[in-house]
Amino acid sequence: LETFVGHQVLRIKTKNEEEVKQLQLLESLDHLELDFWINPSAPALPVDVRIPAASVQSVKAFLESQGIEYSILIEDLQDVLDKEKEEMAESAQRQR
Amino acid sequence: SSSFDFGAYHTLDDINKELDHLASEYSFVEKIQIGQSYEERPLYVLKFSTGGSNRPAIWLDAGIHSREWVTQASALWIANKIASDYGTDASVTSLLDKMDLFLLPVANPDGFVYTHTSNRMWRKTRSKIPGSVCVGVDPNRNWDAGFGGPGASDKPCSDSYHGPSANSEVEVKSVVDFIKSHGNFKAFLTLHSYSQLLMYPYGYKCTRPDDYAELESLGRAAASSIRSLYGTSFQVGTICNTIYQASGGSIDWSYDNGIKYSFAFELRDTGRYGFLLPATQIVPAAQETWLGLKKIMEHVRNKLY
């Protein structure tokens, strides 16, 4: 099972079309291996993106350099998945 | 068994066992197979029918994007709710006395199994793409509705890859063939997560559908029903206006094929979890979604066309 240690999910709020375009540019950079949960489309809509551990710093640096606002939706994805797995196991145990 | 925990996430095997259980428990519920996936897993639909042949019908599916686990889980809760409410709840009883309901709880079983065994983040099908190292197609970009247009990718490695041709994914084609051969569907409802939206066509173009006024009004009524339970706020509108242009989507196909009441739900995320909704949120999500679905189904029943 693939692990997601250190992966973060950011919620990015754009202010204008220019910032949306910057995110669309980011989206096209395959080497960052970004997983857009909500793609950049219009300034009114938030963008959610999962960022592998290796790309977190560079993506944040890019956003900060462009003055694009973001917050951390999920600090460490693997923590969330571990909890999910644990809850599934507990439920299966209860049912047995 | 009857001890199935609707407030937990389950494997495909456990889900299929629960479908068997529901079918054995209720005489008007039948488990039917409408096809099989790329990796040859059965595509099971629960048919709720209290009699009559080829009655007008409602379609409901979940889990076309495999990682959106709350949708498959909600579909199971909803299946159990419909089955147990028939004969006791006036609305469900009158609905099933007049119409059939077909529920596909796991529209993308290969992807779903893959999220359990290999990659929790997997969204697409698992079909092999000739000439590419990447696997899978976004099954909600693969319908014959503006196929290959804006809002879908032509790159096989993209999570929104539309596939080599419309209906290339057997999971999509199986539903298309089933709905066409039935010929009497009046509503097409699909569950996605997340971001709390209730959408109607179009996504492949940014123009209003002919039935805009009715769909908008019904969508708002459904969103109001959803909000009535826990205060969860859903935004209503066309796919293009509420989120972004997306071609090859299922409700655009159903609407263009004469199924007027075509809606896509994006279930709750409570603003924190995206599609990784904690299991404690499954039942509340399903409960509020059911109220929205019921509002639409009642309208369909009362306005048969």
pLDDT tier at A96 (50, 70, 90 boundaries)? confident
Mean pLDDT of A66-70: 97
Q: What percent of chain B has pLDDT over 90?
A: 97
Strands B185-193 and B57-62: parallel
Report helix, strand or coil for B135.
strand
Average pLDDT, chain B: 97
C-alpha span between B242 and B35 (Å, rounded): 33
B266 given a catalytic annotation = yes
Residues of A in contact with B118 (CB under 8 A): 1-2
Q: Which residues lie closer than 8 Å to B90 by C-beta, 6 or more apart?
A: none
Q: Is A14 exposed, middle or buried (0-12, 13-18, 19+ CB in 10 A)?
A: buried
DSSP state of B51: S
Q: How many residue contacts between A and B have a Cβ separation below 8 Å?
A: 66
Report yes or no: B305 and B270 within 8 Å, Cβ to Cβ: no
Mean pLDDT of B184-205: 98
Which residue type does B220 have? R
How close A25 comes to chain B (CA, Å)? 15
Sheet holding B185-193, edge to edge: B29-36, B42-48, B100-104, B57-62, B185-193, B261-267, B197-200, B235-238
For residue B248, the Cα-to-chain-centroid distance in whole angstroms is 15
Residues of B in contact with A38 (CB under 8 A): 195, 243
Residue A44: predicted pLDDT = 87
Residue B52: predicted pLDDT = 87
Residue A94: predicted pLDDT = 87
Q: What is the pLDDT of residues B153-188, one digit of tens each?
A: 999 999 999 999 999 999 999 999 999 999 999 999
C-alpha span between A36 and A67 (Å, rounded): 20
Residues of A in contact with B124 (CB under 8 A): none
Residue B47: predicted pLDDT = 98
Whether residues B279 and A94 touch (CB distance < 8 A) is answered with no
| Closest CB from B3, B243, B276 relative to A80 | B276
Whether the pLDDT of residue B37 is over 90: the answer is: yes
Report yes or no: B138 and B123 within 8 Å, Cβ to Cβ: yes
Report yes or no: B277 and B194 within 8 Å, Cβ to Cβ: yes
Q: What is the pLDDT of residues B54-68, one digit of tens each?
A: 999 999 999 999 999
CB of B180 within 8 Å of a chain A CB? The answer is no
pLDDT tier at A76 (50, 70, 90 boundaries)? very high
Mean pLDDT of B119-145: 97
CB of A80 within 8 Å of a chain B CB? The answer is yes
Q: What is the pLDDT of residues B250-276, one digit of tens each?
A: 999 999 999 999 999 999 999 999 999
CB of B244 within 8 Å of a chain A CB? The answer is yes
How close B232 comes to chain A (CA, Å)? 18
Whether the pLDDT of residue A42 is over 80: the answer is: yes
Whether the pLDDT of residue B1 is over 60: the answer is: no
ipTM: 0.96
C-alpha span between A60 and A64 (Å, rounded): 6
Mean pLDDT of B223-233: 98
Q: What is the pLDDT of residues A46-65, one digit of tens each?
A: 999 999 999 999 999 999 99
How close B154 comes to chain A (CA, Å)? 13
Nearest CA-CA partner of B33 in B22, B50, B21, B20: B20
**How wide is the angle at C-alpha B95 spanned by C-alphas B254 and B268, nearest 5°?**
60
